[in-house]
Each structure stands twice: as structure tokens, then as C-alpha cells.
């Protein structure tokens, strides 16, 4: 079994993709690539990639050819339902068969030079499930201002909220969410905001199911303001030694919060709906 894998989790559109991509620059981390999805039963292909990216002149080319990914086909291959469950996956969902299969499948993904596995999953946090499979895992929860997240959901072409909550991935509404959506005349702005609240509530519940020492929260706005300093804190939390090459690589990335866009993209009436739905939760998570 791999030792102390690192999982980046968070609601979609919260900045976890950029955070994860930058984290893959660390020379001690093996990260999951599209090869894992294409060949889940042949981890040697991916291990060869992890070895090859450290060869002089080959790293940047191979990174472009085989990008880092969330690899849901890989996870689903060994545990059906991992990618799109109707609720968060908990520890009691991890069957002995699934635990054994996932430990076997991930063990060959790392190398001697890159002994720590880095993976990213978004949407449901799946903390309880992953902790049951990997008891010594470290979890990084990246979260962002719900106004920015809701606005971003409305702009992308893969948001399933347009089909309504009966067709999306986040389970049926509870009575409170249903009343709130109806109160805003089934507004899609309200629905995107409610999605963020659902996933933040799920993250809060999942955190209570694992040791506090295994999880670190990263507020995206803080990360955008001081990325190098934040990665020093993250590295210390994960037990990774400081690395000057890693910090130099971070300088190649442009990081900005872009949290102003919701005010530009939405009308005053839509902004009012957003604030009405998110008000208390924004205060709870430090965005009041």
C-alpha cells in the first residue's frame, strides 16, 4: 500500500485544478495522468511516465502529452460509482473488496524518486471513503467564495443544473433547499448557489468523520494572493521537504482570484438573488 497519499478535494470551480496542477511540479510527487484512465489495469505505463518526466529535456513535452487528470475512469474501474454517486461516499461505503482493489491499483503508480501519490477529486469530498482506503492519507480541501463559484457554474458548458435538481449529481433537495429555490422562482442563479452550499455542507460533515490532523483547508483567495507561501505551508502539512526547484516552477504560473467576475457577469437582480441565498454561508466561511 502506498504511504501517505495526498488528495486535493473541493467543490467544482473552486480553483482546485490550478492548485493541483501547480502541486504536480513538486519533484517528490507522482501525480495521476490520463494514462491512468486509458490503462487502469496497466499501471506500469503510468509509472514509466513518472520516471521519464525527470529525464533532462523530456519533462515539459511529456507533461503536455499526458496531462494530470482527476482520472474518474481509473477510480470507477476499481469501485463502481466513485465518479458520480448521488451522495457523498462515506467510510461505510468502502467494502473490503474495494479497499483491497484500490490499494493494489494505486501502489504501482509511484516511483522511488517520486514516492508520494497526488490525486484530485472534485464535487463530493469522499473524505470518509478515501480515509477508509488510505488511513494515513493527507487531504487538502480547496474552497472559494460561493458567489464566484456559482457564477462560474453558470458560465461553463457542463453544468447539469440546467436540467434541474432531479437530473443533477447532488441528490434530491432537502425541504429547506427546495423552499429556497421555490422562493426565488426556481432561479438558476439560486440553484448554482444552492449547489455550492450542498457541497460545502457535505465537506463539513465529511471532515467530522476523519482525524482533524489529516486535513488542511486552503482558501483559494489566500492561495491566489501568496501561492509560494501557501505551498510552503501545504508542503509542511504533507511532510514534504522544502524544494527550491519546486518554488521556481511555481513562478511560471499566473494565479488570480477573479472573484470580481460575478459582479460583472450578473445583473443587479441576479446578484441580489445570489446574496439572498448565500448570505449566512458566506459569513460562516469568512466571506461576510
According to the model, what pLDDT value does residue 63 have? Answer: 83
Distance CA 174, CA 247 (A): 45
According to the model, what pLDDT value does residue 60 have? Answer: 78
Cβ-based neighbours of 59, under 8 Å, separated by 6 or more: 53
**Spans of all domains in the chain:** 6-284
Per-residue CA distances from 89 to 1, 86, 94, 129 (Å):
21, 9, 8, 6
According to the model, what pLDDT value does residue 62 have? Answer: 86
According to the model, what pLDDT value does residue 61 have? Answer: 81
According to the model, what pLDDT value does residue 81 have? Answer: 95
- Architecture, CATH, for domain 6-284: 3-Layer(aba) Sandwich (3.40)
Distance CA 115, CA 135 (A): 17
Cβ-based neighbours of 56, under 8 Å, separated by 6 or more: none
Cβ-based neighbours of 183, under 8 Å, separated by 6 or more: none
- Show the low-confidence residues of the chain (pLDDT under 50): none
Q: Can you list the alpha helix ranges (DSSP code H) found in 67-187?
A: 72-78, 96-106, 127-133, 146-155, 175-183
Q: How many residues does the chain have?
A: 288
Distance CA 81, CA 192 (A): 24
Amino acid at each position: 500500500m502506498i504511504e501517505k497519499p495526498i488528495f486535493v478535494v473541493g467543490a467544482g470551480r473552486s480553483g482546485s485544478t490550478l492548485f493541483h496542477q501547480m502541486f504536480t511540479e513538486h519533484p517528490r510527487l507522482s501525480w495521476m495522468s490520463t494514462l491512468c484512465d486509458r490503462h487502469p489495469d496497466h499501471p506500469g505505463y503510468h509509472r514509466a511516465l513518472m520516471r521519464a518526466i525527470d529525464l533532462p529535456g523530456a519533462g515539459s513535452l511529456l507533461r503536455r502529452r499526458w496531462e494530470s487528470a482527476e482520472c474518474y475512469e481509473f477510480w470507477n474501474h476499481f469501485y463502481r460509482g466513485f465518479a458520480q454517486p448521488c451522495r457523498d461516499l462515506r467510510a461505510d461505503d468502502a467494502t473490503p473488496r474495494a479497499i483491497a482493489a484500490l490499494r493494489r491499483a494505486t501502489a504501482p503508480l509511484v516511483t522511488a524518486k517520486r514516492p508520494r501519490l497526488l490525486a484530485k477529486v472534485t464535487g463530493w469530498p469522499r473524505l470518509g471513503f478515501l480515509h477508509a482506503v488510505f488511513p494515513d492519507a493527507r487531504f487538502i480541501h480547496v474552497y472559494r467564495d460561493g458567489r464566484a463559484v456559482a457564477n462560474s457554474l453558470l458560465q461553463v458548458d457542463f453544468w447539469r443544473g440546467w436540467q434541474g435538481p432531479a437530473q443533477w449529481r447532488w441528490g434530491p433537495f432537502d425541504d429547506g433547499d427546495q423552499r429556497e429555490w421555490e422562493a426565488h422562482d426556481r432561479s438558476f442563479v439560486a440553484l448554482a448557489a444552492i449547489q455550492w452550499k450542498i457541497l460545502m455542507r457535505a465537506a463539513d460533515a465529511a471532515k467530522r468523520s476523519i482525524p482533524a490532523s489529516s486535513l488542511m483547508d486552503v482558501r483559494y483567495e489566500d492561495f491566489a494572493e501568496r501561492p509560494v507561501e501557501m505551498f510552503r505551508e501545504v508542503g509542511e502539512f504533507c511532510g514534504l521537504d522544502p524544494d527550491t526547484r519546486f518554488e521556481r516552477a511555481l513562478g511560471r504560473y499566473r494565479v488570480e482570484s477573479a472573484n470580481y467576475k460575478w459582479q460583472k457577469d450578473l445583473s443587479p437582480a441576479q446578484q441580489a438573488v445570489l446574496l439572498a441565498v448565500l448570505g449566512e454561508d458566506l459569513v460562516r466561511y469568512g466571506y461576510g
